[in-house]
Chain A
């Protein structure tokens, strides 16, 4: 599903985001990127949704080479990739429902279908009762659930989560990881960047350890 082949991302003559990284994440796998801040976890994820292109090497997502993707094709790739961030990135002036439904707007989803899908995914993350609330009225964990719902509502094949529990306490973090595992069990390929090694060890099928842009270790077996 996701293949990195000798991928290097250079930001300056001696500044590397990633350095000669080769990795493969199979369809339906739940993989974790671990490592300290600045290790290249975010760069790794950004390449999967074509926010960055490699300086050298190849990134293949569902068989498509990111570097060769035309600009006009990027949105279609992103419809198959849901992304969750540490800072949730919810719009404060919109309700929970609207925040989630906005992911369906670019697909010109008919109104009734949009409502059904949004309600279904909000039910999936346990937030159906708060559809009219504004994000600021919710806890951090609830906001992250909304962000996950928004990433899920398009039913993408890949879910990326960049430090999804970075702003949450331990109990909330566990709930979010449980949710991500459930999503993975329903068939999505999930890639999570986290520096919370305890949680990573508890949930991971595969762990890619990054340090200063280099892949220093790979642990676990990928699901076929």
Chain B
């Protein structure tokens, strides 16, 4: 058994070395094809994490009339607290709103002072119970709040979540379709490379047949070669995707970046090791399928 395995590895290595340029080209072509769905998958996964983080901090904000009395604000807050989806209600006074504005946007602080009178209304920041956070907002809930005395506008953050979730769904669908097409293309690439290898090695294969090699003996290295090409292609795809990820992550961590604009969302993350291993395994499997199809079709024993 050991000699069979050594023989298989030895012949595969010899073949890979002999056709190294063709093999390297195939690996890079597969890598490029696989990098596209990988990039989309990474993007969709990180966007999903961002949406989850938004859901964690989700608030419904009820803006109160600037003329409302403190008692009216407190009554509205108390009514809202009684509603089933509501976990907490925080009253933000006009002064607190102005202070936050100045803290969060120091460049615009001068404008606020020039206005003299505080133009910002008081508001109620409503945190929903977790079970209600990723549900689509109901007109009933916002309407109930809007009808409360003193409330002039209700901003339900779940509308944004719904939109982001829709974008996310589309992104995953695109990833899935592209993944299917490009993995199929990868399998075809490997299959084609194996077909060429069969053609290039027809003399050798003919001699092996003549000296009593079985189908398994002749196919073995070609199948293994396809597996290696697919797995190496996946590794190249992951490397391309990884390089892009590092570039984007670096940009997000420095200076005036998208990250800050995205309300302090989570840092972008690279795929977990299990996904990386799965991507390499899928690449290997695709290579195996491609080479299997080619040997079935073009290797007549």
The distance in angstroms between the C-alpha atoms of A154 and B11, with both chains bound, is 19
Known contacts A105-B7, A110-B3, A111-B3, A91 near B210 by CB under 8 Å: no
A71 in contact (CB, < 8 A): yes
A145 in contact (CB, < 8 A): no
- Which residues of chain A in 51-75 are interfacial with respect to chain B, using CB atoms and an 8 Å cutoff? 71-72, 75
8 Å CB contact of A106 from B18, B203, B204, B217: B217
Give a binary string over B1-39; 1 marks a CB under 8 Å from any A CB, 0 the rest: 001101100010000001000000000000000000000
The distance in angstroms between the C-alpha atoms of A79 and B209, with both chains bound, is 10
Residues of B contacting A107 in the complex (Cβ-Cβ under 8 angstroms): 212
The distance in angstroms between the C-alpha atoms of A40 and B152, with both chains bound, is 103
Residues of A contacting B215 in the complex (Cβ-Cβ under 8 angstroms): 72, 75
B244 in contact (CB, < 8 A): no
Contact status B207-A91, CB under 8 Å: yes
Known contacts A71-B301, A111-B3, A89 near B211 by CB under 8 Å: no
- Which residues of chain B in 155-207 are interfacial with respect to chain A, using CB atoms and an 8 Å cutoff? 203-204, 206-207
Q: Within the complex, what minimum Cβ distance (angstroms) separates B281 from chain A?
A: 28
Known contacts A108-B3, A108-B4, A108-B7, A89 near B214 by CB under 8 Å: no
Q: Within the complex, what minimum Cβ distance (angstroms) separates A34 from chain B?
A: 24
- Which residues of chain B in 246-301 are interfacial with respect to chain A, using CB atoms and an 8 Å cutoff? 301
Contact status A83-B210, CB under 8 Å: yes
Contact status B212-A102, CB under 8 Å: no
Known contacts A71-B301, A109-B3, A102 near B211 by CB under 8 Å: yes
The distance in angstroms between the C-alpha atoms of A49 and B210, with both chains bound, is 8
Residue of A nearest to B10 (CB): A105
B213 in contact (CB, < 8 A): yes
Contact status A106-B212, CB under 8 Å: yes
Contact status A78-B209, CB under 8 Å: yes
- Which residues of chain B in 210-230 are interfacial with respect to chain A, using CB atoms and an 8 Å cutoff? 210-215, 217
Residues of A contacting B212 in the complex (Cβ-Cβ under 8 angstroms): 75-80, 106-107, 154
A198 in contact (CB, < 8 A): no
B208 in contact (CB, < 8 A): yes
Residues of B contacting A105 in the complex (Cβ-Cβ under 8 angstroms): 7, 11, 208, 213, 217
8 Å CB contact of A89 from B7, B11, B203, B217: B203
Residues of A contacting B214 in the complex (Cβ-Cβ under 8 angstroms): 72, 75, 106
Contact status B4-A106, CB under 8 Å: no
Contact status B3-A78, CB under 8 Å: no
Residues of B contacting A102 in the complex (Cβ-Cβ under 8 angstroms): 204, 207-208, 211
Contact status B217-A78, CB under 8 Å: no
Residue of B nearest to A98 (CB): B14
The distance in angstroms between the C-alpha atoms of A78 and B209, with both chains bound, is 8
Which size class do A's interface residues fall under? 20 to 34
Question: Which of B3, B203, B301 is the most central at the interface, judged by chain A CB atoms within 10 Å of its CB?
Answer: B3
Known contacts A89-B206, A106-B208, A75 near B7 by CB under 8 Å: no
Q: Within the complex, what minimum Cβ distance (angstroms) separates B104 from chain A?
A: 71
Residues of A contacting B301 in the complex (Cβ-Cβ under 8 angstroms): 71
The distance in angstroms between the C-alpha atoms of A154 and B213, with both chains bound, is 12
Contact status A93-B18, CB under 8 Å: yes
The distance in angstroms between the C-alpha atoms of A108 and B210, with both chains bound, is 16
A103 in contact (CB, < 8 A): yes
A150 in contact (CB, < 8 A): yes
Q: Within the complex, what minimum Cβ distance (angstroms) separates B213 from chain A?
A: 4
Contact status B213-A106, CB under 8 Å: yes
The distance in angstroms between the C-alpha atoms of A163 and B301, with both chains bound, is 25
Q: Within the complex, what minimum Cβ distance (angstroms) separates A52 from chain B?
A: 14
Q: Within the complex, what minimum Cβ distance (angstroms) separates B216 from chain A?
A: 9
The distance in angstroms between the C-alpha atoms of A107 and B213, with both chains bound, is 8
Q: Within the complex, what minimum Cβ distance (angstroms) separates A43 from chain B?
A: 16
Residues of A contacting B210 in the complex (Cβ-Cβ under 8 angstroms): 49, 78, 83, 89
Chain B interface residues toward A at CB < 8 A: 3-4, 6-7, 11, 18, 203-204, 206-215, 217, 301
For the A-B complex with A75-B215, A89-B207, A108-B7 known, give 14 more contacts whose Cβ atoms are closer than 8 Å. Answer: A49-B210, A75-B213, A78-B210, A78-B212, A80-B212, A82-B211, A91-B204, A102-B207, A105-B213, A106-B213, A106-B217, A110-B3, A111-B6, A154-B212
- 19 examples of A-B residue contacts, CB within 8 angstroms: A72-B214, A75-B212, A75-B214, A77-B212, A78-B209, A78-B210, A91-B203, A102-B204, A105-B7, A105-B213, A106-B208, A106-B211, A106-B217, A107-B212, A108-B3, A110-B3, A111-B6, A154-B211, A154-B212
In the A-B complex, the 10 residue pairs with the smallest Cβ-Cβ separation, listed nearest first, are: A79-B212, A106-B213, A78-B212, A103-B211, A75-B212, A108-B3, A75-B214, A108-B4, A106-B217, A110-B3
Chain A interface residues toward B at CB < 8 A: 49, 71-72, 75-80, 82-83, 89, 91, 93, 102-103, 105-111, 150, 154
